[in-house]
Structure 1
Amino acid sequence: MGAVTFETLTFGETADKAFSNAVEDAKHLHGHGGYTGTIAEKSSFEVIPEQEHHRKQKRRYAHQLLEDGDERIRSKWGPAGAINCSGTTGAKRYREQHGLKGKHGDGWLFFGWASH
């Protein structure tokens, strides 16, 4: 079994809620059998501190961490990375497309390696 990278932008009142939403959505879309190559394979996440990605394009920074083999997220069996994207263009678009405009919570980009 190999590994592939994934990324997903999701919304939640907390990072934990956003992660749960993303995992459940992936399981619904890709099945519950494992080895989906999605966030459904993850059981935890690690928040990348704001000071690391401040004033940087969030997806580009996530891709850089993946390319660099950042130890926090390099294992397909380890945690996903999580970047708070609130206030970004992508997060605003996500809120509008999913009818979340005016609701409390943050947009989160989850990314990493997953078994496939």
Structure 2
Amino acid sequence: MGAVTFEVLAFGKTADDAFRNALEDATHMHGHGGYTGTIAEKSSIEVIPKREHKGKQKRHYAHQLIEDRDERIRHKWGPAGAINCSGTAAAKRYREQHGLKGKHGDVWLFFGWASH
């Protein structure tokens, strides 16, 4: 089986909560059979420190890490990358689209390689 890249936004009080929410959504939409090419294939995350992406476009930075095959997220069986997107236009849109305005928590971007 091969590998493909994925990226997904999710909301949670913590990065782990958002990750669990992203996993639930992906398994609901893509099934439980494995090799979906989605975050459903991941069992852990690697939070990218804010100092690395501060002042940068979050998705662009995530794409750069994927393109560079950053050691932390390059393996299809390894962790997904996680970047806190709170305060960005994308996070604001996500909150509005999902009825999360005023709820406590953060929007996270999860990304990386997944088995397909």
Q: Does 1:27 find its partner at 2:38?
A: no
Give unpaired runs (5+ residues) of structure 1: none
Give unpaired runs (5+ residues) of structure 2: none
Structure-1 residue corresponding to 2:69: 69
Instruction: Name the TM-score, length of structure 1 as normaliser.
Output: 0.99
Structure-1 residue corresponding to 2:42: 42
CA shift at 1:5, angstroms? 0.1
Structure-2 residue corresponding to 1:57: 57
The percent of aligned pairs where both chains have the same amino acid is 83
Structure 2: which amino acid aligns with 1:17?
Answer: D
Aligned mates of 2:13, 2:45 — CA distance in 1 = 16
Structure 2: which amino acid aligns with 1:23?
Answer: L
Aligned mates of 2:97, 2:76 — CA distance in 1 = 30
Aligned mates of 1:63, 1:79 — CA distance in 2 = 16
Instruction: Name the TM-score, length of structure 2 as normaliser.
Output: 0.99
Count of matched residue pairs: 116
The ranges of structure 1 where at least 4 consecutive aligned residues each deviate by more than 2 angstroms after the TM superposition are none
CA shift at 1:38, angstroms? 0.1
